[in-house]
């Protein structure tokens, strides 16, 4: 079994008859992997009500400084993440990469389905609605120097934490996993407990996946290392 087959099989396991809700958890485990049916609110986005409330307060405050925060990504289901993953995989393969190289390339910015913080309804990708949008908006350079979202970044770096929003994929060079994402903010009061529950869940997944036919040690190592470097490779105050 190659790495991709292992990943597919690993997440098939999670899907989800074997995934028993743990009574010690506050959140239904299905919600933590994007397969639940959470109550979400928002006009042009979808967030947990508590997160939306804090977001609206932050937006109102930013607006007073002439910054219109626009959410370009919020809640994302397992299926949606799977589409992103599959499309990128095909694209990188068509560029001549082998399976392993394609996966390594995908996980520079995108998560394995079932492991995205966007599954939780607590995380947002934002831009400034003021400047005209040209091409791909989520590029780090657009948030720095003379980029269109430099003012937004500076405002968020100063004020977002007052509303509970932190940057998981910060600029710390010693951080592992996903690259710097100046656009991705997480509502800490909800996402911290959800991550803690999520990590419990993954330990169980790893135990289950050891029963897979053909899953060799190397592939298990990949998944374990991915959880450590990518899922946990975030701003320390969000752990």
Binding stretches for Zn ion (CB under 5 A): 125, 184
Min CB(183)–Zn ion separation in Å:
7
Min CB(81)–Zn ion separation in Å:
11
Helix axes of 188-209 and 49-63: crossing angle, nearest 10 degrees = 140
Taking alpha carbons only, the member of 65, 55, 63 closest to residue 123 is: 55
Min CB(21)–Zn ion separation in Å:
26
Closest CB to Zn ion belongs to which residue? 184
Min CB(14)–Zn ion separation in Å:
21
Q: Which position has the token pair 């947002």?
A: 124
| 18 vs 237, beta carbon nearer Zn ion | 237
Helix axes of 217-226 and 3-14: crossing angle, nearest 10 degrees = 70
Per-residue burial over 68-106, b = 16 or more CB atoms within 10 Å of its CB, e = otherwise:
ebbbebbbbbbebbbebbeebbeebeeeebeeeebbebb
26: left (phi over 0), alpha (psi -120 to 50) or beta: alpha
| 35 vs 184, beta carbon nearer Zn ion | 184
Min CB(125)–Zn ion separation in Å:
4
By DSSP bridging, strand 165-166 and strand 184-187 are: antiparallel
């Amino acid at each position: 079994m190659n790495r991709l087959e292992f990943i597919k099989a690993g997440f098939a396991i999670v899907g989800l008859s074997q995934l028993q809700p743990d009574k010690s958890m506050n959140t239904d485990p299905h919600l933590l992997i994007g397969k639940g049916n959470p109550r979400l609110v928002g006009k042009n986005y979808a967030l947990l009500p508590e997160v939306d409330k804090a977001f609206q307060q932050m937006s109102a405050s930013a607006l007073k400084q002439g910054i219109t925060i626009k959410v370009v990504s919020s809640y994302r289901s397992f299926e949606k993440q799977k589409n992103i993953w599959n499309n990128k995989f095909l694209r990188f393969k068509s560029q001549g990469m082998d399976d392993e190289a394609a996966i390594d390339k995908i996980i520079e910015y995108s998560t394995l389905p079932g492991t995205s913080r966007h599954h939780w309804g607590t995380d947002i990708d934002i831009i400034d609605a003021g400047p005209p949008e040209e091409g791909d908006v989520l590029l780090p350079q657009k948030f720095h120097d003379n980029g269109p979202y430099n003012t937004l970044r500076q405002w968020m770096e100063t004020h977002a934490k007052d509303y509970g929003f932190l940057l998981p994929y910060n600029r710390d060079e010693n951080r592992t996993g996903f690259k710097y994402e100046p656009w991705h903010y997480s509502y800490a009061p909800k996402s911290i407990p959800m991550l803690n529950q999520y990590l419990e869940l993954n330990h169980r997944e790893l135990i289950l996946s050891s029963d897979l036919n053909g899953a060799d040690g190397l592939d298990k190592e990949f998944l374990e290392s991915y959880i450590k470097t990518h899922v946990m490779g975030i701003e320390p105050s969000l752990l």
